[in-house]
Amino acid sequence: MRLRFLGSGDAFGSGGRFNACFLVEATAGMFLVECGASSMIAMRRFGVDPNRVGTVFVSHLHGDHFGGLPFMILDGQFYSRRTAPLTLVGPPGLRERLTQAMEVFFPGSSKVERKFATEVRELAPGQSATINGVTVTPYAVEHLCGAPPFALRFACDGKVLAYTGDTEWTETLVAVGRDADLLIAEALFFEKRIKYHLDYATLKARLARIGARRVILTHMGPEMLAHRGDVSEETAEDGKIVDV
Domain boundaries, the chain: 2-243
* pLDDT mean across residues, the chain: 98
The whole-number pLDDT of residue 70 equals 98
In whole angstroms, what is the distance from residue 244 CA to residue 233 CA?
A: 16
Q: What angle do CA 139, 85, 154 make, to 5 degrees?
A: 25
Q: Give the fold, CATH level 3, of 2-243.
A: Metallo-beta-lactamase; Chain A (3.60.15)
Mean pLDDT computed over 185-214: 97
The residue type of 9 is G
pTM of the model: 0.98
In whole angstroms, what is the distance from residue 5 CA to residue 46 CA?
A: 10
The whole-number pLDDT of residue 98 equals 98
The whole-number pLDDT of residue 74 equals 98
Q: In sequence order, which residues have a C-beta less than 8 Å from that of residue 200 and are 6 or more positions away?
A: 187, 189, 190, 191, 217, 224, 227, 231
Q: Could you tell me where the beta strands, DSSP code E, fall in 146-240? A: 150-156, 159-163, 182-186, 215-218, 234-235
- pLDDT tens-digit series, residues 56-96: 999 999 999 999 999 999 999 999 999 999 999 999 999 99
Q: What is the 8-class DSSP label of residue 99?
A: H
Question: Roughly how many angstroms between the first and final C-alpha of the chain, as a whole number?
Answer: 5
Reduced to 3 states, what is the DSSP secondary structure of residue 48?
coil
In whole angstroms, what is the distance from residue 206 CA to residue 177 CA?
A: 11
